[in-house]
Amino acid sequence: MKGKKYFITIIVSLIIGFLIGFFVKEQSVKKSLRYYEKLIGEEIEPEEVIEKQIEVGYGWSIKSDEKLAVDESISKMKQGVKKPEFVIVYATVTYDLNKIKNYLKSKLGNVKLFGVTSCIGVATKDGIHIGPKGSIAIMGMRSDKIDFGVAGRSFTEKENIKNVAKIVIKQAIKDAGRSITEHPTIVLIGASPGFEEDLIAGIEEVIGKDVPIYGGSAADNTIEGKWAIFADNKVIKGNGIALAVIYTPLKVGYAFDSGYRGTGKYGTVTKAEGRLIQEIDNRPAGEVYCEWAGKDKFADALRQGKVILAESSFTPLAYKLEVEGKTRFVSLHPHKFWPEKNNSLSVFAKPNVGDRLYLIEGNPKILAVRPQSVLVSALVKSKMSQQEMACGILIYCAGTMLAIKDGAEYKGKVYKIDQIIENINKISGDMPYIGAFTFGEQGLIEGYGNYHGNLMNSMVVFSHR
C-alpha cells in the first residue's frame, strides 16, 4: 500500500512539474514576443501563418571525398528546395575546390554559384562543422520574387582595383536581367584579402553608398594565401572578387557589428602607407599601440617584430561612428610590429592619414553572444517578425572564431565557438542559415556607407514577405 501511494505521489509531482514548466515556458514566449514587437513597432500574432515566398534549403558535410561531401550537402539541401536558382557555397581550402564546383554544377544544373572559402570549418543552424579533411555548407534559394545575378573575376595588384569592381558589379546587374539604373536591394561580396576598401569604393561609384554590401573575405587555414572565391562557373584563386546582386520587394534585414567596447584611448593617424600605420599622433604606431594595449603584454613582441594576431584579438583598433545616437565601432585587427620600419604597425585594413583610431576591447563572452544581438538588430531594423524569417547568411571573423574555438575563460565561465549557434538559434528558430569564418568582413554603416573591417560579425536575413 505504501508503494502504491509513493507511486501516485511521483506521478502527481511529475504532472504538476510539467504544468508549471509549460506555464513558465509559455509566459516566457509571450514575454519575448511582447518585447520583440515593441522593438519592431508592430504587433505579432504568435499563431500567424506566413505564406512562404522563398523556397530554401541548406546542407553540409564533413566527408573527406569531394563528391561524397557534395552529394550529402545537396541531399540535405533538397529537403527544402528541389531546384534552386542561386546557391551560396562555403568550403575549406583543404578540398579540391574545382571538384567541389564541378560536382555542384553537374548535380544542380543551371544554378548560379557564389561563395568563398572559410577558415578551418563552416557553420549552419546545426552547428560548427570541422571535418578530418574539410567541410562544406551550401544554401539554395528559389523565388519568383527575387532576381539573382552573379559575376566575378581575378585581377592583379597593378590593375585599377576600383575599375575592376565597377566592371564586375555591372556584369552582375546584367546577369540579373536588370539595368544599371536599377539599384539592387543588397549586394553580397566575396573578395580576396587586401583590396576590400577599393573594391567597395568601386561598387559604390556604380550603385551609391546606401545599397548594403555584405560579405566576407576568403580565408584559408594558415594565412598562406590559399583562399579562393566561387563565382558561378569559376573558382578564383589569388586576387579576385565575386558579387551576387539581389533584387526583391521582400524584406531583407542586415546588421554589421564588432560587439567590442571603447576604452577611451584614441589617436590620429599621421603617417600611413596602405595597411601599414607608421605614426599615430606623430609617434611610431607600434609604440602607441603597445602603450594603449599593455606594455607587459606587447613589449617583447614590439622589440622582436612579432605577428600579434592572436594576442590582439581582444584589443583591436577601430573607427568610431555615431549612428542614431549610438556609438558603433568598425574594428581593425593589428597584425605585426615592424621595428625595422621605425616600429610601425600593420593591420588588416587600410586607414587613411587623418583617421582617428580608437583602442577597443572585448572578451570571450562578447564573442559568443554577439551573433544573437546582431541577428536581433537585423530583424529590428527591417521590422521583420520571427515568423517571417526565410533564411540567413552568417559571417563571423576567423580571428574571433579562433580566439574561442577550443574554449576561452572569462569570469569563471568558459565560452566556445559552438555557443554562437546555440545563441542564434534561440532567436532564429527553424530558419535555415549557413556561415563562413572569414579574413575580413564587409557591411553597411547607415549614414556613412559600406565599410571593410576585421574581427566583425554580420547577419543577412531574407523574409517571406
Question: How is 106-171 classified by DSSP, letter by letter?
Answer: HHH-S-EEEEEE-SS-EEETTEEE--SS--EEEEEEE-TT-EEEEEEEE--TTS-HHHHHHHHHHH
**DSSP assignment, residue 264?**
E
CA of residue 392 relative to chain centroid, distance: 10
Average pLDDT, the chain: 91
- How far apart are the C-alpha atoms of 259 and 198, rounded to whole Å? 25
Residue 43: its pLDDT value, please?
53
Per-residue confidence at 352, pLDDT binned at 50, 70, 90?
Answer: very high
Residue 42: its pLDDT value, please?
55
- How far apart are the C-alpha atoms of 335 and 357, rounded to whole Å? 15
Backbone Cα Rg of the chain = 23
Phi, psi (deg, nearest 5) at residue 393 = -125, 120
pLDDT in tens, 42-63: 555 555 678 999 999 999 999 9
Higher pLDDT, 155 or 37: 155
- How far apart are the C-alpha atoms of 451 and 196, rounded to whole Å? 9
pTM: 0.90
Mean pLDDT of 271-282: 98
Contact 220, 233 (CB under 8 A): no
CA of residue 19 relative to chain centroid, distance: 40
- How far apart are the C-alpha atoms of 401 and 118, rounded to whole Å? 11
Question: 309 CB contacts (<8 Å, ≥6 apart)?
Answer: 223, 333, 334, 335, 399
Residue 45: its pLDDT value, please?
54
Per-residue confidence at 325, pLDDT binned at 50, 70, 90?
Answer: confident
pLDDT in tens, 108-167: 999 999 999 999 999 999 999 999 999 999 999 999 999 999 999 999 999 999 999 999
Q: What percent of the chain has pLDDT over 70?
A: 90
**Per-residue pLDDT at 3 exceeds 60:** no
- All three cell numbers of 358, joined, read 580608437
- How far apart are the C-alpha atoms of 203 and 311, rounded to whole Å? 34
- All three cell numbers of 314, joined, read 581582444
- How far apart are the C-alpha atoms of 311 and 44, rounded to whole Å? 45
**Per-residue pLDDT at 35 exceeds 60:** no
Mean pLDDT of 409-413: 96
CB-based burial of residue 12 (10 Å sphere; 0-12 exposed, 13-18 middle, 19+ buried)? exposed
CB-based burial of residue 11 (10 Å sphere; 0-12 exposed, 13-18 middle, 19+ buried)? exposed
